[in-house]
Copies of this chain bind each other. A is one copy, B any other.
Amino acid sequence: MAQRAHSSPTLHDVAREAGVSLATASRSLNGSTRKVNEEYRARVLAAAERLGYVANLSAQTIAKGTSSTLALLVSDIADPYFAAIAAGVLSGAEQAGLITTMGITQRSAERELDLVKTLRGQRPRVLILTGSRYVDAALDEALTRELQAFESTGGRVVMVSQRSLPFDTVQTDDYGGARDLAESLVDQGYRSFAALTGVSSLMTARDRLAGFRDGLAAHGLSLPDERVVETEFTRQGGYDGAGQLLSRGLGDAELLFAVNDVMAVGAMSRLREESVDVPGSLAVAGFDDISTARDVTPALTTVRLPLERVGAAAIELALAGQRGDEPTLVTLGGEVVLRTSTPARG
């Protein structure tokens, strides 16, 4: 009667309360192949209800030797990019009956490695790593070893948006999206371009720039090197980059492509300050379709990535059969969204 504080009722308590054996209680409550007399079953359920019994997941994990956990590593959950992916992963995990535990790497390779070690302690069924790869070869190698060890004990690892390590990967088609964007802009009548790109060590920035270039090339156009500014991958970077471009002189550039929306927004801010009319004097396009994109003036042309689906795809990949010898690569395409920052050009 006296429910001791600091201790939940156990299966044992339920069994006693219901007047059945431990095994019967277990089978009624959690057993898969149910072969329990309906009466007993009801008694057990009632007892559990009465006692407020909740099965101890750790004990179950230990006993059956397999957990129902998924671990998700993210660079920064406050970043809408990762938040969207996480949303996809979380809802997919829940549908699969998995509980997900989450870790934030803060874009640090050391922390990422530490978190992998820590989270492995949970014996998760799946480990999903999201975010750009870093450049530290030693850490990459240590991480790879850790992940391989994890796989060798039956775990599955899926990388998201980073295809450099030998594991199953889901990525967005940054190259293709940028190429499509370039072609759409050529269709709109643009012929002369400038670009703001992130530091070239960022694969994302590289792919997007390359795609944009190739899209232009498909129409016999090109992006002159002197009209490409390499700067930070941030709003401030876009702001600064636009400044640099202006001081170099825009030449005949009709459109400025920034490799992501926050840079584009920063650039627009700078252009406004410098009284460069957008899109009249210079059109602007970005990449990502952040929510701000449609609310700036003029609304920003960009490429939308199916971020939630990326998360969902990661789970599907993880749960779909055994890993092959070669890592699987899933690529999800984006979609060009034309807005008023790049009106059709007479």
Contact = CB atoms under 8 A, between A and B. Distances in A.
A104 B61 CA distance: 23
Interface string A44-64: 000000001011111111100
Interface string A82-97: 0110110011001000
A87 B77 CA distance: 6
Interface string A1-12: 001011110000
Interface stretch (A219-227, A240-248, A290-298): A290-298
Interface residues of A, number: 55
Interface stretch (A33-41, A114-122, A161-169): A114-122
A54 B120 contact: yes
A71 to B, nearest CB: 9
Interface stretch (A13-21, A146-154, A189-197, A207-215): A146-154
A117 B62 contact: no
Contact of A102 (B5, B6, B59, B90): B90
A100 interface: yes
A67 interface: yes
Interface in A96-141: 99-104, 117-123
Number of copies: 2
Nearest to A80: B80
Given A3-B152, A7-B153, A54-B117, 20 more contacts: A5-B153, A6-B154, A8-B153, A52-B149, A56-B121, A58-B59, A58-B67, A58-B123, A77-B77, A77-B90, A78-B83, A90-B102, A90-B103, A90-B104, A99-B119, A265-B295, A268-B295, A269-B295, A292-B292, A296-B297
A76 interface: yes
25 contacts: A6-B154, A8-B153, A54-B120, A55-B121, A57-B121, A57-B122, A57-B123, A58-B62, A58-B67, A58-B122, A77-B77, A77-B83, A77-B86, A78-B80, A78-B83, A87-B104, A91-B104, A99-B101, A99-B118, A100-B102, A102-B102, A265-B295, A292-B295, A292-B296, A295-B296
Contact of A101 (B62, B102, B118, B152): B102
A173 interface: no
A289 interface: no
A297 to B, nearest CB: 4
A180 interface: no
Contacts of A183: none
B77 A123 contact: no
Nearest to A88: B78
A35 to B, nearest CB: 24
Task: Among A91, A102, A117, A120, find the residue whose CB has the most chain B CB atoms closer than 10 A.
Answer: A102
A254 interface: no
Query: What 3 pairs between A and B have smallest CB-CB spacing?
Result: A6-B154, A57-B121, A58-B58
Contacts of A52: 149
A83 B77 CA distance: 6
A104 B6 CA distance: 27
A174 interface: no
